[in-house]
Structure 1
């Protein structure tokens, strides 16, 4: 008799393990702790079965029981598994849902980039509008000093490293607004470091504005940056500062926390 895929899967299913994982899946941000009876009711288990599963999970460190309330909550091993899973995720993969939400909320183009010496390289991009005078995609490279993404990443470098890099930088002027003067650039980077975000007003291309914020990991280091950009016809200077900058900072913060970042 030929076995179906469903039959094959059921043959290799360990029922006790499946039930244990079902118990763990009951815990959510909205439901961080559960009583014994709530677990029994949710899964429809016999109390004797539920007790054995809970006792096993508690013994292995996947559940803890509060001595005062007698309610169960995920144990340290669950969080360790979560961090291990996050560490295995590609940064782009982890950040993508956050970027999509930001692009949807603002109706503008959202990008993520990393710093490569004196350039930035785009590693993700959600395009909502045609960018004035620019054709950019994943893998595109731009001078860091000319874009909000690059400025926010340069601002995170240790001072000695930043000065060493700028010492050999050409600081090409892409538009009349590009910061091509080293002293002026350093002054702006200091302000960016203080405020936690960077703005770009037609420095990369005439008619283009953007706001960027750093994405940090658990080491506190900026491992990438995200930005929102679009044409001056839809992004006034006021909207750039009052709407886009706070939104991109908030989204960068959410991605950073997902990477294990905790403000020091």
Structure 2
């Protein structure tokens, strides 16, 4: 077939008079639903989705229900509408990791490492884990339990927490409703209400810092990265032996460097911060 339709109308037309026996109509319609959303239309009702696909509401309901169960859509009961879910972002992470994101991040993390003397990392949220895409170690080679490809529990790590903080509370509840929060670090929260309260503070602060929170003897700080659409797509963190620093140094010297690098890297990914004043 060799076609790569990139919008809902093109995918719907693909099914008209289609004789390719290898084509899966249900999959095509599911992808068409996802492509119906855009920055201009972030929420769509069943009727709007049905109109976009040219199918009945009952048909699009089954598609939307399936995509919601899989995390590709989220249902908003108060408006009876749907929005794209976290699984859509996770599909893009592999592409970003193998191409632009890591390449763009590397010089920024090297500069951050050189300015602070701390190891620097890049990671993304994948389900309940933070996945490390890039590690820039210190010249001194601080021992670390992480490497590229490592998966750590998001709620117990600085990068994971700042990424979770930018999800809606409904999304966080859906992730952790049936998950015991224990055994993931000496200072990690132990229940969902405490996690939600912690994430509210993280979101308001705009960064996460902890000393010995996940790995004993290690201080860490993290901030989120945004893309051209303003979406949080990844996070960076820096870490060092806690014996080499204290809370005052982190707040006064390390965090400003971290936030400056996060801003520059977000700009490199196309993000333009809203004008203030």
| Alignment TM-score, normalising by the size of structure 1 | 0.63
1:103-182 map, 5 Å: 103-128=113-138, 129-131=140-142, 134-182=144-192
Matches of 2:251 and 2:189, distance apart in 1 = 19
Q: Which of the numbers 245, 259, 264 marks the counterpart of 2:269? A: 259
- Compute the displacement of 1:130 (Å): 4.7
- Compute the displacement of 1:162 (Å): 1.4
Matches of 1:239 and 1:246, distance apart in 2 = 11
State the superposition RMSD in angstroms: 1.8
- Report the CA distance shift for 1:207/1:218 in structure 2 as closer, same or farther (over 3 A): same
Matches of 2:199 and 2:262, distance apart in 1 = 18
> Does residue 219 of structure 1 match 2:207?
no
- Compute the displacement of 1:237 (Å): 1.4
1:200-215 map, 5 Å: 200-215=210-225
Which residue does the alignment assign to 1:187?
A: 197
Q: Provide the secondary structure at the position in 1 that maps to 2:185.
A: coil
CA displacement 1:129-160 (0-9 Å, x = unmatched): 5556x421100110001110000000011221
- Report the CA distance shift for 1:105/1:236 in structure 2 as closer, same or farther (over 3 A): same
CA displacement 1:18-59 (0-9 Å, x = unmatched): xxxxxxxxxxxxxxxxxxxxxxxxxxxxxxxxxxxxxxxxxx
Matches of 1:212 and 1:177, distance apart in 2 = 16
Matches of 2:101 and 2:258, distance apart in 1 = 17
Q: Provide the secondary structure at the position in 2 that maps to 1:205.
A: coil
Matches of 2:158 and 2:185, distance apart in 1 = 14
Larger Rg over CA atoms: 1
| Alignment TM-score, normalising by the size of structure 2 | 0.60
Q: Provide the secondary structure at the position in 1 that maps to 2:243.
A: coil
CA displacement 1:206-241 (0-9 Å, x = unmatched): 111111000100111111000111111112111122
Matches of 1:159 and 1:249, distance apart in 2 = 24
- Compute the displacement of 1:187 (Å): 1.2
Unaligned runs of 5+ in 1: 1-85
Which structure has more relative contact order (CA 8 Å, sep 6+)? It is 1
> Does residue 248 of structure 1 match 2:261?
no
- Compute the displacement of 1:262 (Å): 1.5
Matches of 1:115 and 1:254, distance apart in 2 = 21
- Compute the displacement of 1:200 (Å): 1.9
Matches of 1:239 and 1:101, distance apart in 2 = 19
Matches of 1:182 and 1:90, distance apart in 2 = 35
Matches of 2:247 and 2:141, distance apart in 1 = 19
